[in-house]
């Protein structure tokens, strides 16, 4: 069977966008990065590259040997790439300005090795990337070129390193998935035009953090765990690698959450390197991604290593809440609920499919429920049909 290769798809994207070819050249670099890291990960055990380096990174996390290799390989791959003027990486405190990139019109933001906690146990890992057009005309790029909201992405994707190596991306059009044929080092189209399926799927969250969540978040996850949502049966799945959990949700439906905690409302996941690129793909695949108040794609980053922050503002109107995905009744309830304590609103990035336009319902407790000390109906972003049933329609 004559399968489309990744390079052929890049050139199709280029032709359909009547583009100059810069973007497909940049995307091609990510396929090279994917093949190089797939080989590094596979060989890590042979060459003693498992385990820690004894240092910590800008995220205050212990650095693994493969984190360093991944980031070094990223910089090597983009070193002589005149289309790209700068790289922002989860592993680097500052942006990396590429020599000779002054005329480059793109910047890239990358999580070189997501799920590095799985390195020693041969679990799923990934690379997540976002490509933006720079804002400044030319010259050395400024921070403003990097601190762009996800809605301005021109392309985004991820690589999944697991039983097979896959590269999934969108350049503004459909989300396509390619699988690496290691024997010839070529990615072939295996998952064209991915749409998050309606129906059951799984719920994915690290429930070990439950004691740190606020009551609403506890109520929502408890509802999934006890199958109390009207979204049908949901199996609990958690790979401990965002790319792995997101990939399953993209192909099988369901919901992925990394909630904020009472003491750390902004949560763990990084906006530029993790949430924005995956939110871009999620929406292109018919799903929704929110921090509980607004589309993740509308959050304008204020610093490089920002975690999806707490908005701390009440939706200005139920239209605003609607943009954040709440449906009619719950949007108004959300607006009311919020006026009683902006910081009560939980902020947790969630992604999942929804019937067009009604991603999820806000767990706003009605006054009667509050009087009875009960939480509102559970929030969920789940397969379309469930979204309809959750909001009682």
Q: What are the φ and ψ backbone dihedral angles of 22, each rounded to 5 degrees? A: -60, -45
Q: How distant, in Å, are the alpha carbons of 178, 230, 353 from that of 193? A: 11, 28, 15
Binding of residue 111 to ligand FBP (CB under 6 A) = yes
Cβ-based nearer residue to ligand FBP, 113 or 326 = 113
Cβ-based nearer residue to ligand FBP, 241 or 285 = 241
Give residue for tokens 């990960």. Answer: 41
Q: Name the minimum Å distance from CB 17 to ligand FBP.
A: 30
> Which candidate, 280, 75, 74, places its Cα nearest to that of 157?
280
Interface with ligand FBP (CB under 6 A), residue from 82, 117, 172, 232: 117
Residues in the chain: 393
Cβ of 237: how many Cβ atoms within 10 Å?
A: 17
Q: CA–CA separation, 49 vs 46, rounded Å? A: 8
Q: Which of residues 28-87 bind ligand FBP (CB under 6 A)?
A: 61
Binding part of the chain for ligand FBP, among 194-202, 236-244, 291-299, 311-319 by CB under 6 A, reads 236-244
Structure tokens at 317: 């109107």
Cβ-based nearer residue to ligand FBP, 251 or 323 = 251
Cα torsion 187, 188, 193, 197: sign: negative
Cβ-based nearer residue to ligand FBP, 60 or 340 = 60
Cβ-based nearer residue to ligand FBP, 241 or 282 = 241
Binding of residue 115 to ligand FBP (CB under 6 A) = yes
Structure tokens at 341: 């304590």
Q: Name the minimum Å distance from CB 118 to ligand FBP.
A: 8
Interface with ligand FBP (CB under 6 A), residue from 149, 172, 199, 240: 240
Q: CA–CA separation, 217 vs 44, rounded Å? A: 38
Interface with ligand FBP (CB under 6 A), residue from 116, 179, 290, 354: 116
Q: Name the minimum Å distance from CB 114 to ligand FBP.
A: 4
Instruction: List Cβ neighbours of 154 (8 Å cut-off, separation of 6 or more).
Output: 23, 106, 131, 132, 133, 171, 172
Q: Which of residues 252-271 bind ligand FBP (CB under 6 A)?
A: 268
Binding part of the chain for ligand FBP, among 229-237, 240-248, 348-356, 360-368 by CB under 6 A, reads 240-248
Chain-centroid distance of CA 70 in Å reads: 19
Instruction: List Cβ neighbours of 72 (8 Å cut-off, separation of 6 or more).
Output: none
Q: CA–CA separation, 92 vs 80, rounded Å? A: 19
E strand or H helix at 32: helix 22-43
Binding part of the chain for ligand FBP, among 112-120, 141-149, 179-187, 334-342 by CB under 6 A, reads 112-120
Binding of residue 91 to ligand FBP (CB under 6 A) = no
Binding part of the chain for ligand FBP, among 19-27, 31-39, 100-108, 114-122 by CB under 6 A, reads 114-122
End-to-end CA gap in the chain: 45
Q: CA–CA separation, 374 vs 152, rounded Å? A: 40
Q: What single-letter DSSP state applies at residue 377?
A: S
Cβ-based nearer residue to ligand FBP, 266 or 320 = 266
Q: How distant, in Å, are the alpha carbons of 31, 57, 71, 103, 304 from that of 78? A: 12, 21, 11, 14, 19
Binding residues for ligand FBP, rule CB under 6 A, total: 12
Q: Which of residues 203-232 bind ligand FBP (CB under 6 A)?
A: 206
Give residue for tokens 């055990």. Answer: 45
Cβ-based nearer residue to ligand FBP, 82 or 240 = 240
Cβ-based nearer residue to ligand FBP, 145 or 274 = 274
Per-residue contact flags (x/-) with ligand FBP for residues 134 to 173, judged by CB under 6 A: ----------------------------------------
Binding part of the chain for ligand FBP, among 158-166, 237-245, 305-313, 324-332 by CB under 6 A, reads 237-245
Which residues sit at the interface with ligand FBP, rule CB under 6 A?
61, 90, 111, 114-117, 206, 240-242, 268
């Amino acid at each position: 069977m004559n399968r489309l290769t990744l390079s052929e798809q890049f050139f199709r994207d280029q032709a359909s966008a009547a583009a100059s070819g810069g973007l497909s050249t940049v995307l091609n670099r990510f396929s090279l990065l994917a093949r190089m890291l797939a080989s590094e990960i596979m060989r890590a055990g042979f060459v003693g590259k498992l385990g820690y380096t004894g240092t910590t990174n800008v995220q205050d996390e212990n650095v693994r040997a493969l984190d360093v290799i991944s980031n070094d390989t990223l910089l090597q791959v983009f070193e002589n790439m005149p289309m790209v003027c700068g790289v922002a990486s989860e592993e680097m405190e500052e942006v990396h300005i590429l020599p000779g990139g002054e005329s480059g019109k793109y910047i890239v933001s990358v999580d070189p090795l997501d799920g590095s906690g799985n390195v020693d146990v041969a679990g799923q890992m990934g690379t997540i990337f976002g490509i933006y057009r720079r804002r400044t005309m030319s010259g050395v790029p400024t921070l403003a070129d990097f601190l762009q909201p996800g809605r301005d992405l021109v392309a985004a994707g991820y690589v999944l390193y697991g039983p097979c190596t896959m590269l999934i991306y969108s350049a503004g059009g459909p989300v396509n998935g390619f699988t690496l044929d290691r024997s010839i080092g070529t990615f072939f189209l295996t998952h064209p035009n991915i749409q998050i399926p309606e129906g059951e799927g799984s719920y994915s969250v690290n429930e070990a953090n439950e004691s740190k969540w606020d009551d609403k978040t506890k109520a929502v996850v408890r509802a999934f765990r006890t199958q109390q949502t009207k979204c049908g049966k949901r199996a609990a799945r958690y790979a401990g690698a965002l790319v792995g959990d997101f990939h399953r949700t993209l192909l099988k439906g369901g919901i992925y959450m990394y909630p904020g905690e009472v003491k750390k409302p902004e949560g763990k996941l990084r906006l530029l390197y993790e949430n924005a690129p995956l939110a871009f793909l999620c929406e292109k695949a018919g799903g929704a991604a929110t921090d509980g108040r607004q589309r993740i794609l509308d959050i304008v980053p204020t610093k490089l290593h920002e975690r999806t922050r707490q908005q701390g503002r009440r939706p200005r109107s139920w239209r605003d809440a609607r943009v954040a995905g709440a449906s009619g009744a719950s949007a108004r309830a959300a607006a009311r609920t919020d006026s009683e304590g902006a910081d009560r609103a939980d902020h947790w990035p969630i992604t999942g499919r929804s019937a067009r336009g009604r991603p999820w319902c806000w767990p706003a407790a009605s006054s009667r429920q509050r009087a009875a000390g009960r939480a509102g109906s559970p929030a969920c972003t789940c397969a379309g049909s469930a979204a309809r049933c959750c909001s009682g329609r």
